[in-house]
Amino acid sequence: MQSDMKTPLLAGSSSDASKPLPRCPGGPVIGIIGSGDFSRSLAIRLVACGFRVVVGSRDPHRIPRGMFPDGVELRSQREAVDGAERVVFVAVYPEHYYTLVGLRELLAGKVLVDVSNATRLNSGEQSHAERLAELFPESRVVKGFNVISAWALQAGAYDGSRQVLVCSDCSHSKALVLQLARCLGFSPVDLGGLCGSRDIEEAPLILFPSWGGPILAVFLLFLFFYGYSFVRHILLPYLDRGENNFHQLPLVTVNETLPAVALVTLALVYLPGLVAAVLQLGRGTKYKRFPGWLDRWLCRRKQLGLLSFLCTLLHAVYSMCLTLRRAAGYTLLNAAYQQVKAGVEKSWVESQVWRSDLYLSCGILGFGVLSLLAVTSLPSVGNTLSWREFTFVQSGLGYVALTLSIMHTLFFGWDFAFFPGAYPYYLPPVYLLALILPCVVLVGRLLLALPCLTSRLAKIRRGWESERHRPPQ
Amino acid sequence: MQSDMKTPLLAGSSSDASKPLPRCPGGPVIGIIGSGDFSRSLAIRLVACGFRVVVGSRDPHRIPRGMFPDGVELRSQREAVDGAERVVFVAVYPEHYYTLVGLRELLAGKVLVDVSNATRLNSGEQSHAERLAELFPESRVVKGFNVISAWALQAGAYDGSRQVLVCSDCSHSKALVLQLARCLGFSPVDLGGLCGSRDIEEAPLILFPSWGGPILAVFLLFLFFYGYSFVRHILLPYLDRGENNFHQLPLVTVNETLPAVALVTLALVYLPGLVAAVLQLGRGTKYKRFPGWLDRWLCRRKQLGLLSFLCTLLHAVYSMCLTLRRAAGYTLLNAAYQQVKAGVEKSWVESQVWRSDLYLSCGILGFGVLSLLAVTSLPSVGNTLSWREFTFVQSGLGYVALTLSIMHTLFFGWDFAFFPGAYPYYLPPVYLLALILPCVVLVGRLLLALPCLTSRLAKIRRGWESERHRPPQ
Amino acid sequence: MQSDMKTPLLAGSSSDASKPLPRCPGGPVIGIIGSGDFSRSLAIRLVACGFRVVVGSRDPHRIPRGMFPDGVELRSQREAVDGAERVVFVAVYPEHYYTLVGLRELLAGKVLVDVSNATRLNSGEQSHAERLAELFPESRVVKGFNVISAWALQAGAYDGSRQVLVCSDCSHSKALVLQLARCLGFSPVDLGGLCGSRDIEEAPLILFPSWGGPILAVFLLFLFFYGYSFVRHILLPYLDRGENNFHQLPLVTVNETLPAVALVTLALVYLPGLVAAVLQLGRGTKYKRFPGWLDRWLCRRKQLGLLSFLCTLLHAVYSMCLTLRRAAGYTLLNAAYQQVKAGVEKSWVESQVWRSDLYLSCGILGFGVLSLLAVTSLPSVGNTLSWREFTFVQSGLGYVALTLSIMHTLFFGWDFAFFPGAYPYYLPPVYLLALILPCVVLVGRLLLALPCLTSRLAKIRRGWESERHRPPQ
């Protein structure tokens, strides 16, 4: 058995370093200086993974019993550093690093892990880890574990689903910490020398880095459509005829804006794919990189899609609340009064009935399809799909949703756009503006589905190149 | 420590082969022929897991800098094959395999991993891997990794949540690739010899294999109820009295069909469990296998349940949009006109008020319970439940949802079914038809809850057998 | 390479025991007595992880072919025990343990794993594992694997996401089983000696242990508000004036109760955090533990938040169904009749229109924010957030949702609370009662946001202590 496996594949890589450690007494002793939340959670995880832990506190007698798990020794900072076999975590706030200077000799030769976070972005200051390295020149400072919260340490999964960013100038010590992170059930990522520590310290400060652009785009779209709708329906009629429609601001105008934003955003999900296909067709090769903006846009499609779904959901809820509005009640009562006064026994316009049922149906079905898309973008559901299934859902069903949304808007518009009354102050209705981009995307997609273009694109994506790109033979 | 663990349990199994490899330089060199998306993603993952990678391209100078991560060497195909220690991935489209024939000698003795997919189902052709094995008789061909997408390679989890299907005629080489897949954070599955490679290549082509049957069943139910409703409400009245109800087609008829489909599908979720229990009771043993159709049906309950929930959700949205319909407005206006004409000051039918509030309440509560069921069927939520909790939710709450749905339908029907007017053209209303199966299931469940049957079933499920099954002592 | 890694960190911990076992033939032989569902699933998982398995049945010839996977040997119980190298799983119902007494000599020295569950709570009986240990005094009994369902064994993930609770009086045997659990892809938890086996056996019986308190709290709140509303709107008017409002019971009263419950529950999510901050401020240190009830309350915030969301969701659905009610139709018709009789051409109260649109808007937006919160509490979504993102969503957005919900209620109340008519029988309206606690929480949060308190709290949370707590220098 042993001999079978002594293959070249493994000869260079097999080492004791990578073995997960058993959860049993007898593991190596890890030191932690500091006795705060992070220290406690780190100790819990270390013990759970079979390490022995010694925690050094300024005043170990004041720590309540039971705060640290069994198997953790609570000592003075000096004793803890002395007892640690090789690795010492510094779980002390950076402003107190100087208080540890007295331990300098004891810490010499040991691996100090700096787990601190930056308190603000782009401060341009020296990183905490670099300062620690200056304070303890004979120790080997490794930056790491700061992106993991105390909660994730204590209660998170052991399945490597969380990354630990690590950097150090000492590759031996770094290898040790990378391995330790893996033993604790994390995915370590080696980010090079200690000069990268500032970035690691600032990493936890950046909230939702992939959502900034999409949220800004949707917000600007919302501002535009809301402003346009405000000017067209409320401001101009008020200036012109003194008509008071301001009561539409909180709900009616919002509910006119949301579907426009949702529709345009949905088109923005599928536009970059078309642009990429056109670029590849035009260039005749797939081996040229896309421009940066297109790459970033392609990477933000999921976020755009989810924001579009959120707008759609809000639009659906707003619409279903429309009949709850007092204004809707008044309108109906006044219409009843008019009907009675006019003596119309049965009011019924067949085409209006068809129109309302058709746009409601398309809207509901489109919403249902978008819901399926949203569910499959949950990580745990998406993981169960193969890549073809994922493509089928996100691209196939996505275009179905786009088509249903466009039909929903078209049926809603009916033939009203063909009457001059739909253009007060020469301003077209909101839904017409919102239809432009989605229709462009849909037509573009249909054009790309022409057999001549499809087959050429398929060839290019399988590695074929047009003549001008081929290397001279 | 070492001696403690030298137990028989481990003696046969401990080997260097299974160790996860450290993410540090010095790992073995893996070769990849081809420089497309799959090659790039595979290289990223290999490097992240501590391997050294050499990629062979037809024209390495034309590949943009930064496309491959640091640590990947870009070379000609010949150099790459030469540099690879043992394993070479063939990430080239099958139609270009013949271009590699010149490398035959260099590839001799190496492990070639074929990662290609089939392009269509049941073609009956030779698999790509078998063709590769014919082209390179002195190499050891292993099929694998094709079910993993480029995206999953690059950005997916390292937690073994994704399977890699592997087969080969050389068990040594297969063991190597199985182990490599484990090192990369996947769950390898050994599917035997290379004769199984066609199945592996076709695996990614089959979309949602477990959903086909349930979707077909729901679709047929929808067709049946929609057709029935169309004939009863629209076609026959039109032929008979020339009544034009066609405007009901897009929304009203759909919203009459959806709850019927949802209810029958929900009954179909619980019917196979009853059938299985009856079979076990009748046979007096649990050691006989169920017939195949019942096994398959039992395996599809989750899918049926989710489809039932989808129909319920659509029914809820459709219903909440009912008052938005123009037709609803006309109906109300005309009723107001009639009331004024008739001089009725206060119209109010207490029983109708109770009926509508009761069926709405039951419907909403049933929908709420079904939502809980749907949430617990998300993989990440279901994983946190113990099996008793899962049973409680899926079986206990499931029957609550079924009961509430039946009550929703009964209150909706009220006493109308007892008047001849409910049977135009001798056709019973849709909701009566939809109630049959759910009521059978509910009554069956109640019968099985009789103490005598429950205790006998519990005994059987704990391994007791009736006399005729017991082996002669 | 090898020498690099022979560091003190690893010297004490590296052992062959912790290596995952390869999935290839040649693994150690594990025995299983019993051939039921659990036995089958366990065998499937053992084989998948590279072990050889021998299953012992009372009558191995009666087990259908294909029930156990290839690689499992089906034998008599005696042969199976004989063939097992060291570990034997006892997958037989506890009431049949006595039938194994004949195997006592063969089982001597082997590790018996008891996988049985308790059938009821707090029975005070001897545990099954202890009984097994009495029956086989020369074997080493380990309790474990009972919390894993057959389904999880067969189809669950291999990523250590599921815990296996283990206890035994023999630490050697326990270490072996802990390690075996890790090899099978579970997270073993060592719970000490066999005296803890009763707790392990009862663990699967306790349903949703973290949900009991929150559900009880929400249920009591519901009872209180429903009862109050019943007395105020239905009982007293009936006793007083004989007014029959009983038709409001199933829907209207419920829909008045649900938002009150949702709002108070949402306040209960944020109250314990405030109490904890006040305690820390008052004590001037974070090194004193919170009282037990506060700790438990802090641990239940997620459950309370989800229950609040459920109530909000039901309230939203109930409200959107309000216009579907027959009673709503009657009310509108009667209003139309009155309007016609009174000859009012245009009924329109601008302030009422604003009121309804504003409270609907706030409600919808609050519901949208709560939905985001609910989505991020799904395990698979929450895992992708950093702790700062999680805090931003759960605390920042949470207070936004609370504020929007309070505004929703205030706009709903408008100025009606200032008229005596709002206090029939001196009882204030439900929404006023429901506002008390949320307003207290919001005001408390705003007070804590005062710069002097914020900075002091931040200092305390970074480890600063007021003078009276500092140890004498």
**pLDDT digits over A327-384, tens only?**
999 999 999 999 999 988 888 999 999 999 999 999 999 999 999 999 998 888 887 7
Nearest-angstrom CA–CA distance, B123 and B200: 14
Share of chain B above pLDDT 70, in %: 91
Residue C439: Cβ-neighbour burial (10 angstroms; 0-12, 13-18, 19+): middle
What pLDDT score does A45 carry?
Answer: 85
> Please, which pLDDT band fits residue B5 given cuts at 50, 70 and 90?
very low
Q: How many CB pairs under 8 A join B and C?
A: 202
Query: Exposed (0-12), middle (13-18) or buried (19+): which is C334, by Cβ within 10 Å?
Result: middle
* B208 neighbourhood in chain A, CB within 8 Å: 389
Three-state SS letters, chain C: CHHHHCCHHHHCCCCHHHCCCCCCCCCCEEEEECCCHHHHHHHHHHHHCCCEEEEEECCHHHCCCCCCCCCEEEEEHHHHHHHCCCEEEECCCHHHHHHHHHHHHHHCCCEEEECCCCCCCCCCCCCHHHHHHHHCCCCEEEECCCCCCHHHHHHCCCCCCCEEEEEECCHHHHHHHHHHHHHCCCEEEECCCHHHHHHHHHHHHCCCCCCHHHHHHHHHHHHHHHHHHHHHHHHHHHHHHCCCCHHHHHHHHHHHHHHHHHHHHHHHHHHHHHHHHHHHHHHCCCCCCCCHHHHHHHHCHHHHHHHHHHHHHHHHHHHHCHHHCHHHHHHHHHHHHHHHHHCCCCCCCHHHHHHHHHHHHHHHHHHHHHHHHHHHCCHHHHCCCCHHHHHHHHHHHHHHHHHHHHHHHHHHHCCHHHCHHHCHHHCCCHHHHHHHHHHHHHHHHHHHCCHHHHHHHHHHHCCCCCHHHCCCC
Which of A330, A332, A338 would you mutate first to test chain C, the one with the most C CBs within 10 A? A330
pLDDT in tens, C88-121: 999 998 888 999 999 999 999 999 999 998 888 7
Q: Which of A344, A360, A386 sits opposite B147 (nearest CB)?
A: A386
For residue A208, the tally of other CB atoms under 10 A from its CB is 15
Contact assignment for B251 to A316 by CB distance below 8 Å: no
Flag whether B103 is in a domain.
yes
C325 inside domain: yes
CA distance C420 to chain B (A): 28
**B384 contact residues in C (CB cutoff 8 A):** 379
Residue B175: list chain C partners with CB under 8 A: 22, 24
> Is A373 found in the same domain as A423?
yes
Q: Decide: helix, strand or coil at residue A28.
A: coil
Q: Which among A413, A397, A404, A332 is positioned nearest to A362, based on CA atoms?
A: A404
Looking at residue B159, its pLDDT comes to 60
Contact C401, C366 (CB under 8 A): yes
B98 and B217 share one domain:
no
Residue C15 belongs to some domain of the structure:
no
Mean pLDDT computed over every residue of chain A:
86
Asked whether the beta carbons of residue C28 and residue B9 sit closer than 8 angstroms, the reply is yes
- What is the spatial distance between Cα B384 and Cα C391, in angstroms, rounded to a whole number? 22
Do the chains contact at C161 and B383, CB–CB below 8 Å?
yes
Give the amino acid at C298. Answer: L
- In this structure, the answer to whether residues B229 and B193 fall within a common structural domain is no
Residue A50 falls inside a structural domain: yes
Q: How confident is the model at residue C360 (pLDDT cuts 50, 70, 90)?
A: very high
Distance CA B423, CA B432 (A): 11
Looking at residues B379-389, what average pLDDT do you find? Answer: 80
Q: How confident is the model at residue B385 (pLDDT cuts 50, 70, 90)?
A: confident
The larger pLDDT score, comparing residue B149 to residue A429, is at: A429
* Residue B82: count of CB within 10 angstroms of its CB: 15
* A83 and A37 belong to one structural domain: yes
- The two counts, helices (H) then strands (E), for chain A are 21, 8
* Closest Cα in chain C, distance from residue B10 (Å): 7
Which residues on B lie below 8 Å from A182 (Cβ)? 20, 22-23
At residue C183 the predicted structure's pLDDT band, cuts being 50, 70 and 90, is: confident
- Please indicate, yes or no, if residue B440 is contained in any of the structural domains: yes
Q: Are residues C104 and C83 in the same domain?
A: yes
Domain boundary among C184, C205, C226: C205
Both C449 and C315 in one domain: the answer is yes
Selected for mutation to probe chain C from A1, A40, A251 (highest C CB count within 10 Å) is A251
Q: Identify the three-state secondary structure at position A197.
A: helix
- Written as six digits, the tokens of C346 are 């245009």
Q: Backbone dihedral region of A124: left (phi > 0), alpha (psi from -120 to 50 degrees) or beta?
A: left
Confidence of residue C164 (pLDDT cuts 50, 70, 90): confident
Mean pLDDT on C172-188 = 83
Task: Indicate whether C186 pLDDT > 60.
Answer: yes
Which residues lie below 8 Å from residue C470, measured CB to CB, with a gap of 6+?
none
Q: Which residue of B has its CA nearest to C88?
A: B9
Number of domains in chain A: 2
* A83-97, C48-62, C226-240, C426-440: range with lowest mean pLDDT: C48-62
Question: C389: distance to nearest CA of chain B, Å?
Answer: 20
Q: What is the predicted pLDDT for the residue at C397?
A: 94
Question: Can you say whether the dihedral through the CA atoms of A405, A408, A413, A414 is positive or negative?
Answer: positive
- If asked whether residues C186 and C257 sit together in one domain, one would say no
Q: Is residue B284 situated within a structural domain?
A: yes
CATH number for position B175: 3.40.50.720
DSSP 3-state of A21? coil
Sequence letter at residue A395: S
Lookup result for tokens 């305390």: C460
Which of A1, A3, A6, A10 to probe by mutation at the B interface, max B CB count within 10 Å? Answer: A10
Nearest CA to B135 out of B116, B121, B120 is that of B116
Residue finishing a domain among C185, C205, C225: C205
Chains contacting C (3 or more CB pairs within 8 Å): A, B
Residue C14 confidence class, pLDDT cut points 50, 70, 90: very low
Provide φ and ψ at C188, rounded to 5°: -75, 145
Q: What does the pLDDT look like over A262-300, one tens digit per residue?
A: 999 999 999 999 999 999 999 888 778 889 999 999 989
Asked if residue C233 lies in contact with residue C248, where contact means CB atoms within 8 angstroms, the answer is: yes
**pTM for the complete prediction?**
0.84
**If you search the block for the tokens 């200690």, which residue do you land on?**
A194
CA atoms of B447 and B18, how far apart (whole Å)? 53
Please indicate, yes or no, whether residues C225 and C179 belong to a single structural domain of this protein: no
Domain that holds residue A59: 30-205
Q: What is the pLDDT of residues B35-72, one digit of tens each?
A: 888 898 899 888 877 788 999 998 888 777 777 877 78
Cβ contacts from A onto C, under 8 A: 196
Q: Give yes or no: residues C41 and C146 share one domain.
A: yes
B313: tokens are 């959700």
Q: Is A142 helix (H, G, I), strand (E, B) or coil?
A: strand
Which whole number is the average pLDDT over C62-67? Answer: 76
Asked if the model's pLDDT at residue A153 lies above 70, the reply is yes
| d(C-alpha B118, C-alpha B94), whole Å | 9
- Pinpoint the alpha helices (H) of A30-109: 37-48, 77-83, 104-107
pLDDT recorded at residue A157: 65
Does C293 lie in the same domain as C233? Answer: yes
Q: A151 with A285, same domain? A: no
Distance from C-alpha of B312 to C-alpha of B257, rounded to nearest angstrom: 11
C16 in a structural domain: no
Q: Are C273 and C302 in contact (CB under 8 A)?
A: no
- Say which residues have a Cβ less than 8 Å from residue A11's Cβ, sequence separation at least 6: B28
Asked whether residue C3 is domain-assigned, the answer is no
**What is d(CA A211, CA A219) in angstroms, rounded to the nearest whole number?**
12
CA separation for the pair B179, B244 (Å, rounded): 69
* Residue whose token pair is 């420089």: B35
Are A247 and A385 in a shared domain?
A: yes
CB within 8 Å: C361 and A254: yes
Judging contacts by C-beta atoms under 8 Å, the chain A residues touching residue C378 are 378, 380
Which pLDDT tens digit goes with each residue over A392-421? 888 899 999 999 999 999 999 988 888 888
Using an 8 Å CB-CB cutoff, list chain A residues near B205.
Answer: 388
In this structure, of A310-324, B294-308, B440-454, C37-51, the range with the lowest mean pLDDT score is: C37-51
Distance from CA of A331 to the nearest CA of B (A): 11
Amino acid at C226: Y
- Compute the half-sphere exposure of residue A42: CA atoms within 13 Å on the CB side of its CA: 29
Last residue in a domain, options C175, C205, C235: C205
Angstrom distance (rounded) from CA B279 to CA C73: 28
